[in-house]
Amino acid sequence: IAGITQAPTSQILAAGRRMTLRCTQDMRHNAMYWYRQDLGLGLRLIHYSNTAGTTGKGEVPDGYSVSRANTDDFPLTLASAVPSQTSVYFCASNPGTGSVGYTFGSGTRLTVV
Amino acid sequence: ILNVEQSPQSLHVQEGDSTNFTCSFPSSNFYALHWYRWETAKSPEALFVMTLNGDEKKKGRISATLNTKEGYSYLYIKGSQPEDSATYLCATPQNAGGTSYGKLTFGQGTILTVHP
């Protein structure tokens, strides 16, 4: 089934540790996005990529990095996790135009302790 | 950062009631307006994407209208059912010079609970 796969589903991480959240899509979408969901704050954009080889910062990029080596994969890395990065992380994609809806992954629930 | 507002924050209705909620967004440099349904423990699912002033879209008992001149969209649910219980999100792309790669700014959502 075409879509987005995120891994892991959930993770408890010690503060200071490095962690990579994986996101893979099989729809050949150009654009991919990482959002975090926090209670009362909704979905906020962390980083995005308009096409393979390019990335950009969203609304809340500090403490996160991304790469886009190919069309399918868009990993999100926390270099040194802090408790404020406890959140649910959603990866999304679309063909690269704002007139087409996003496809979302199922999310990664991350707890930093 | 665009300001996308949704109201009400939450809504409780009885099965069979019709309901509606609002999304407000900046009317300048408008490109598109998205609606998503987000059920608990699932991921958001696209309902509608509207681009033209006066657009009206329908999917079963759910419909949406768009007014780009005044910057609002309404989502309507006719004859609500318990399975309609979800958070409904609206979002608009951050436009840049008339094109958009689709970076969406989301509202905080309206939480709908339909009681049997």
Task: Give tens-digit pLDDT for A48-70.
Answer: 998 999 999 999 999 999 999 99
Q: Which helix (H) or strand (E) holds B37?
A: strand B33-38
Structure tokens at A9: 């589903």
Mean pLDDT on A30-36: 95
CA distance B95 to B62: 27
- pLDDT reported for residue A25: 97
CA distance B71 to B69: 6
Cβ–Cβ < 8 Å for A92, B89: no
Closest-CA residue of B relative to A59 is B1
- pLDDT reported for residue A7: 97
Chain center to CA of A73: 10
Question: C-alpha distances in angstroms, B83 versus A51, B10, B62, B78?
Answer: 37, 16, 12, 13
Mean pLDDT is lowest, of A20-29, A83-92, B7-16, B29-38, for: B29-38
Of the partner residues B34, B45, B101, the one whose CB lies closest to the CB of residue A96:
B101
Task: Give tens-digit pLDDT for B49-69.
Answer: 998 999 999 999 999 999 999
Per-residue pLDDT band for B101 (boundaries 50, 70, 90) equals low
Of the partner residues A45, A100, A103, the one whose CB lies closest to the CB of residue B103:
A45
* Residue A31: pLDDT over 50: yes
Region of A89 (left: φ > 0; alpha: ψ -120 to 50; beta: rest) is: beta
* Residue B100: pLDDT over 60: no
Pairing, β B72-77 against β B19-24: antiparallel
- pLDDT reported for residue B95: 59
Rg (CA), chain A: 13
Q: Hunting for tokens 């300048």 — which residue is that? A: B28
Mean pLDDT on A17-40: 94
- pLDDT reported for residue A41: 84
What DSSP state is assigned to residue A83?
A: G
Q: Which amino acid, one-letter code, is at B66?
A: L
- pLDDT reported for residue B97: 45
Residue B57, min C-alpha distance to chain A (Å):
14
Query: Is the CB of A97 less than 8 angstroms away from the CB of B42?
Result: no
| % of chain A residues with pLDDT over 70 | 97
Structure tokens at A112: 């930093």
Per-residue pLDDT band for A96 (boundaries 50, 70, 90) equals confident
What DSSP state is assigned to residue A73?
A: B
CA distance B109 to A33: 19
Per-residue pLDDT band for B1 (boundaries 50, 70, 90) equals low
**Which residues, including other chains, have CB under 8 Å from residue A87's CB and lie 6 or more apart?**
A36, A37, A38, A110
CA distance A67 to A70: 9
Query: Is the CB of A42 less than 8 angstroms away from the CB of B101?
Result: no
Query: Is the CB of A50 less than 8 angstroms away from the CB of B32?
Result: no
Per-residue pLDDT band for A29 (boundaries 50, 70, 90) equals very high
